[in-house]
Amino acid sequence: LIEFVERVGLRCVYHSPQPLEPGEIVRQEVAFQRRWDHMQQHTGQHLLSAVMNTYDNLSTLGWGMGKSGAMNYVDLPRKPSDAELQAIQARCNDIIRSSLPITVETPNDAKVHKMPEDYDQTKGVVRVISIGDIDRNTCCGTHLSQTSHISLILVHHGEPVHGKNFRLYFSVGDRAINLATASIGAMGTISRLLSSKNTTDEVVQSVKTVQSSASDLKKREKKLLSDIAEFEAESAKVKLQTNKSVWVHRSDGNADFVKWVTVNVKDTVMACGGVVVVATGEEKKSGQLVVLGEKSSVEVMIPKIKNTVTGIKGGGAGDKWQGKVTAWEKADLETLKKLVEGSTVLDAIKRGC
């Protein structure tokens, strides 16, 4: 299947997915369903742009056809209002039902000021596509013969692009039907998962409820992790009374946990001249590692950690070093714990506070 065709000057170049020998006889067949889909999207875009052009500052700046089954888009100078979008979609589908003729002409007086620089107008023709008396535009694409073949146009959501411009997504014809069918099916699945009625209002409300619950749970989790971090910091302070190096590990810890522990223990570890090593994560998963303490103590500990843990990357200066591990290997954490808690490298420093 040839999916990439381009114009080079006046030549139509087909990019074959497999090499062909010079002089080799080939048979060309049109993949009609794919061609039909492309014609629906392209002709639909002409109609959509023509209707939007009747509104203030909604001329099409550019467009893109989505891959098979995906949405297309048009770029606009501004965001249309919801009322405008509803009116535009309704007008497009009214014109579609009118079954206006779509014609192709090659007039000698066609406007050529926007033609590509590599196009030789003395040897080629300029094609003009007309949708009844609604639209008339130059175009080299293949189009449908009447608006009823477009079937329907569905306008979707949009998003800001390139500063002040707005990208509006849309779909046409069979592709629009397939996307709508998939969306209805997805909403049905979501409604069952949420144990709600299969209506848009009910599904949206159920999703909002789940989001609210998730937000509350995250707040509770954060508070609990903060309490645990405070407890671990207090425990580390007690250990620093008799040990020069202290190990703190939490398998489900995160960056906040590490920050809370180090902030709470910093004054004590500095006064002791020792070091605290805080780690998160578990075997086969990623994790963080922070070494906090008196500068000379940190400098002694770092090389030993790097020799123990393969692939740890990080950096720091002075009293703090922090690193990350893509995946803790088997026994890494246990070995690291034994290294820190049984370290003899800090014997030169006075033990305890």
What is the structure's pLDDT at 348?
45
- State residue 254 phi and psi, 5-degree precision: -135, -170
Rounded to whole angstroms, the Cα distance separating 345 from 349 reads: 9
For residue 152, pLDDT over 50 is answered with yes
Under 8 Å between Cβ of 272 and 353 = yes
| Burial class for 110, CB neighbours closer than 10 Å (0-12, 13-18, 19+) | middle
Q: Is 313 contained in some domain? A: yes
187 and 232 co-located in one domain:
no
What is the structure's pLDDT at 123?
79
Rounded to whole angstroms, the Cα distance separating 150 from 97 reads: 9
Number of structural domains the chain divides into: 2
104 and 43 co-located in one domain:
yes
Read off the pLDDT of each residue in 319-341 and give the average, rounded to a whole number. 91
Mean pLDDT across the chain? 91
45 and 148 co-located in one domain:
yes
36 and 100 co-located in one domain:
yes
Q: Is 208 contained in some domain? A: no
122 and 253 co-located in one domain:
no
What is the structure's pLDDT at 113?
67
For residue 345, pLDDT over 70 is answered with no
Which CATH number fits the domain that encloses residue 324? 3.10.310
326 and 288 co-located in one domain:
yes
Rounded to whole angstroms, the Cα distance separating 258 from 241 reads: 21
- Residue-wise pLDDT tens digits, 45-83: 999 999 999 999 999 999 999 999 999 999 999 999 999
Q: Is 203 contained in some domain? A: no
- Residue-wise pLDDT tens digits, 114-140: 777 777 777 788 899 999 999 999 998
Read off the pLDDT of each residue in 203-215 and give the average, rounded to a whole number. 93
155 and 303 co-located in one domain:
no
Read off the pLDDT of each residue in 80-93 and give the average, rounded to a whole number. 98
Rounded to whole angstroms, the Cα distance separating 295 from 301 reads: 10
Q: Is 4 left (phi over 0), alpha (psi -120 to 50) or beta?
A: beta
What is the structure's pLDDT at 347?
56
